[in-house]
Amino acid sequence: MSEHGLTTADRHPNFIPFSMYGELIKGKQTSLLIYTTVFAYLISAHPYPVLKDLILLTISMFFAVSGSTLLNMYIDRDIDAIMPRTQNRPLPSGKISASTVRNHGFIFSVSGVFGAAYFLNMLTAVIIALGLFFDVVVYSLWLKRRTKWSIVFGGIAGGLPAMAGRTAVIGKIDLVAVLFLLFILLWIPLHILTLATLPENLEGYRNAGVPMWPVVAGIRETRYVVTIASFLDGFLLIATGYALRLHMLAQLPLILFGIVLIRLSVQNFQNPNHITTFKLFKFASMFMAIAYLWMYMGVAISMWIR
């Protein structure tokens, strides 16, 4: 606060304080999506990644993902003001103006798409633009307040950065690029729905009128969906390893990761309680990062063995 009782945002209405960016762009979520992009690139470019292209891809993706998140914050500000988990975010708490967040969201989004088009290739730019479209228009504006199936389209948006990481290298969409997308598409509802079934979050969605799966279909059906998604995601992880032509020794850890995920999901379905649900949520949170890291290591190990 200044001596006149005004915050930096009050005195500079078009300025976002640096300290607010992490929360406004959901730093952990943005970092994870960029992480999948970077490792999809490294897996595809191994053993000869181009550092300049990787840096430009990372910067473009950072702006695009951050831009879409800022726009989502702008769109969801009324919902966020109702739910206890999100009430203290900068927009619903009045720390910054909605127009400032909206304007930065547009600028960031356009910068990410045009940066990819200029410095990388047009296909990668189109995929990044599709990610923005699915996340902001299809998911947030159209479906989030209408149907429980909205998370599927949110999953498509979440999987497109990894696809972009591959197309930035090979310049086309192949089987591996599709598997990268599908793997994340199934992981996102798995990740979100386990969190949504926790009582404090469930009540928040109900009060805000957001038709999340456990709100409109019940917790048991939600756990059924999570279990199916876990089976499919475990299978897709193994299928991606085969598509990458990993050596069997490099494939084994991916099989074990998939088995652990499926086992935790089955436990959560058969004996549901807060402990098993939270354990599944924590493992699912790590599952994506571990899977992409090992796929990269697996490619390197496979080349060394052969």
Q: How far apart are CA 224 and CA 246, in angstroms?
A: 32
Is residue 136 a part of any domain in this protein?
yes
pLDDT at residue number 2:
42
**Which residues constitute the domain of residue 116?**
18-171
Within a domain: residue 144? yes
DSSP 8-state secondary structure symbol assigned to residue 148: T
Domains in the chain: how many in total?
Answer: 2
Domain edge (last residue) among 171, 205, 240: 171
Q: Are residues 134 and 187 in the same domain?
A: no
CATH number for 41: 1.10.357.140
* Mean pLDDT of the region 15-23: 82
Is 12 a residue whose pLDDT tops 70?
no
Question: Is there a single domain that holds both residue 143 and residue 194?
Answer: no
Highest mean pLDDT among 105-119, 145-159, 264-278: 105-119
* C-alpha neighbours within 13 Å on the C-beta side of residue 222: 24
pTM for this structure? 0.90
d(CA 300, CA 306): 10
Give the mean pLDDT of 280-290: 85
Assigned token pair, 63: 């702006």
- Give the span between the Cα atoms of 52 and 274, in whole angstroms: 46
Asked if residue 287 and residue 272 are part of one domain, the reply reads: yes
Confidence of residue 17 (pLDDT cuts 50, 70, 90): confident
Q: Residue 252's pLDDT band (boundaries 50, 70, 90)?
A: very high
Q: Answer yes or no: do 164 and 183 share one domain.
A: no
What DSSP letter does each residue of 212-243 carry, written as one string?
-HHHHH-HHHHHHHHHHHHHHHHHHHHHHHHH
For position 13, what pLDDT does the model report? 58
Average pLDDT estimate for 195-205: 81
Contact criterion met (CB below 8 Å) for 43 and 298: no
pLDDT of 15 higher than 80: no
Q: Could you report the per-residue pLDDT of 59-112, keeping only the tens digit for each?
A: 999 999 999 999 999 999 999 999 888 888 999 988 899 999 999 999 999 999
Same domain, 62 and 89: yes
185 and 216 in a common domain: yes
* Confidence at 306, pLDDT banded by 50, 70, 90: low
Residue 90 forms part of a structural domain: yes
Mean pLDDT of 174-188: 94
- Please indicate, yes or no, if residue 187 is contained in any of the structural domains: yes
The pLDDT of residue 168 is 97
Q: Same domain, yes or no, for 155 and 281?
A: no
| Assigned token pair, 91 | 């927009």
User: Do 269 and 164 share a domain, yes or no?
Assistant: no
pLDDT reported for residue 98: 93
Whether the CA torsion 60, 63, 67, 73 is positive or negative: it is positive
Higher pLDDT, 4 or 165: 165
